[in-house]
């Protein structure tokens, strides 16, 4: 299977961000990874695992389904300028993880080796009940986990509607386990102005989020990192579909003019490249979140999801979004996802501006939390974590669907 097809992931990375910030647990098979106590347990019994292997396991689990390169592992665990036999260290850490998990490298259930590139965590993850999140005290665990929280981006899929709703991206494969697989290709920017890419990219990410919320048992959505690699691609739909391992592809375009946005979207069945649904929208910027929900709901109907009433998509923010705050927020996401120190700094400034424009805009606080996790802004580790947690908590207070 094409590598991009395996880049989709079971766990919603921003949902995981909350679990890491608030110290809950992740479960896979009969194993529990307790982020609060920094312990690995099987059926209640503690499995001994040293610090480096534990941090590597957390790194891989937090990027569930994604390839994590050996170079990134070395940088996260040892740093860029540490003169140790880090290659041997990675091999040793992987071996110790596999021994602890009783994982066979020839038939991996947990850690998959991608020869010459890195490793991928492949086991389905189950998180602890969400209601425990706000109640977990900060405590000692942040000191023991400051490496992983600061060093790990936890970004399998970065979406503009980051903390709103539960989204799960399943390992790719056409109709795997009876699931329908869908990819959202980057929306085309029709303005002709490259400086407006942040807006069309943001809409793409939000559609991934909305569709991922429908029902992960029935619909798998390919991760943003895989989908965005097809930006400006000239490949045919059937080729992209084969490479990603999907049944359907959603493609579209966006044009923002003043206070209005025009969006065209079409759903294509990969098997015969037939158009099964298409629509055009012309709305005020204030209703753009409602628009995204409508598109996701329509697609859910077209791919014949049997959704219960509580699973149907609803507007993620019941109040009208401040257009200026929303646009500023999208700029913040656009820059922070450049994965550079400068991009993180500029992104943080945009999130702060969005908060100034609308102090009750939960998304902006969520973005601000990300910026402190990804880049400390010259702050001591514990201060960066404190600010990240404060911003995440504020986002939850403003809209508790941001978990």
pLDDT at 256: 82
- Kindly give, in sequence order, each residue whose CB lies less than 8 Å from that of residue 245, ignoring residues fewer than 6 positions away: 1, 2, 5, 172, 173, 174, 181
DSSP states along 44-62: TEEEP--HHHHHHHHHHHH
Distances (CA, A) of 293 to 92, 191, 317, 334, 351: 47, 23, 10, 21, 23
Parallel, antiparallel, or unpaired: how do β-strands 188-189 and 180-184 relate?
Answer: unpaired
CATH of 3-151, picked from 1.10.357.10, 1.10.10.10, 3.40.630.30, 1.10.490.10, is 1.10.10.10
Q: Please tell me the predicted confidence (pLDDT) of residue 347.
A: 92
pLDDT score at 84: 55
- What residue spans in the chain does CATH classification 1.25.40.10 cover? 323-402
Q: In the CATH scheme, what is the homologous superfamily, with its name and number, of domain 176-311?
A: TolB, N-terminal domain (3.40.50.10070)
Residues 6 or more apart whose CB falls under 8 angstroms from that of 390 comprise: none
Encoding tokens for residue 161?
Answer: 């509607």
Dihedral Cα 294, 299, 305, 308, nearest 10 deg: 0
* Predicted TM-score of the model (pTM): 0.55
**Structure token digits, residue 154:** 């936890």
Distance CA 355, CA 312 (A): 29
pLDDT of residue 209: 75
| Residues with Cβ within 8 Å of residue 171, at least 6 apart in sequence | 6, 8, 9, 10, 65, 122, 220
Per-residue pLDDT, 186? 92
Give residue 346's pLDDT: 92
Rounded Cα distance between 182 and 265, Å, is: 14
**In this predicted structure, what is the pLDDT of residue 324?**
87
**Pairing, β 248-257 against β 180-184:** parallel
- CATH 3.40.50.10070 domain position(s) in the chain: 176-311
Predicted pLDDT at 155: 30
Q: What is the pLDDT of residues 353-385, one digit of tens each?
A: 999 999 998 889 989 988 887 776 677 777 887
pLDDT for 291 equals: 74
Structure tokens at 226: 């895989």
CATH number of 323-402: 1.25.40.10
Which candidate, 271, 242, 248, places its Cα nearest to that of 185? 248
Q: Which residues of the chain have pLDDT under 70?
A: 1-24, 36, 79-85, 126-178, 225, 289, 300, 303-320, 339, 376-377, 400-403
Provide the pLDDT for residue 126.
Answer: 65
Say if residues 401 and 316 touch (Cβ distance below 8 Å). yes
pLDDT at 188 (0 to 100) = 93
Q: Are 233 and 217 in contact (CB under 8 A)?
A: no
Q: How far, in Å, CA of 384 to CA of 220, rounded?
A: 34
The Cα-based distances of 6 to 65, 154, 268 in angstroms read 7, 17, 21
């Amino acid at each position: 299977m094409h590598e991009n097809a395996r880049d989709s992931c079971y766990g919603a990375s921003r949902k995981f961000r909350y679990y890491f910030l608030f110290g809950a647990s992740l479960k896979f098979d009969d194993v529990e990874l307790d982020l609060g106590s920094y312990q690995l347990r099987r059926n209640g019994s503690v499995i001994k695992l040293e610090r480096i292997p534990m941090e590597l396991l957390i790194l891989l689990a937090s990027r569930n389904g994604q390839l994590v390169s050996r170079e990134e592992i070395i940088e996260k665990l040892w740093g860029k300028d540490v003169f140790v036999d880090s290659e041997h260290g990675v091999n040793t850490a992987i071996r110790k993880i596999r021994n602890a998990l009783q994982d066979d490298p020839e038939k991996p259930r947990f850690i998959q080796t991608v020869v010459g590139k890195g490793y991928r965590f492949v086991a389905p993850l189950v998180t602890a009940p969400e209601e425990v999140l706000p109640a977990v005290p900060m405590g000692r665990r942040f000191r023991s986990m400051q490496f992983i929280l600061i060093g790990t981006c936890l970004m399998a899929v970065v979406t503009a509607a980051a903390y709103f709703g539960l989204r799960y991206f399943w390992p790719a494969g056409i109709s795997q386990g009876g699931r329908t697989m869908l990819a959202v290709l980057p929306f085309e920017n029709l303005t002709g102005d490259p400086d407006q890419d942040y807006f069309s990219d943001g809409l793409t990410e939000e559609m991934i989020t909305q569709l991922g919320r429908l029902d992960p048992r029935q619909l798998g959505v390919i991760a943003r990192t895989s989908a965005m690699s097809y930006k400006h691609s000239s490949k045919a739909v059937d080729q992209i579909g084969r490479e990603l391992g999907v049944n359907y592809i959603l493609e579209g375009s966006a044009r923002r003019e003043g206070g209005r946005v025009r969006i065209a979207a079409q759903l294509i069945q990969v098997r015969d490249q037939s158009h099964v649904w298409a629509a055009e929208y012309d709305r005020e910027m204030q209703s753009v979140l409602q628009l995204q929900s409508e598109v996701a709901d329509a697609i859910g109907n077209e791919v014949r999801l049997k959704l219960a009433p509580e699973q149907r998509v609803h507007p993620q923010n019941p109040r009208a979004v401040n257009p200026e705050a929303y646009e500023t927020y999208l700029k913040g996401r656009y820059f922070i996802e450049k994965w550079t120190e400068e991009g993180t700094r500029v992104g943080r400034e945009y999130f702060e501006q969005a908060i100034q424009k609308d102090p009750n805009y939960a998304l902006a606080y969520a973005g601000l939390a990300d910026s402190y996790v990804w880049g400390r802004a010259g702050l001591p580790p514990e201060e960066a974590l404190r600010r990240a947690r404060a911003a995440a908590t504020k986002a939850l207070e403003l809209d508790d669907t941001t978990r």
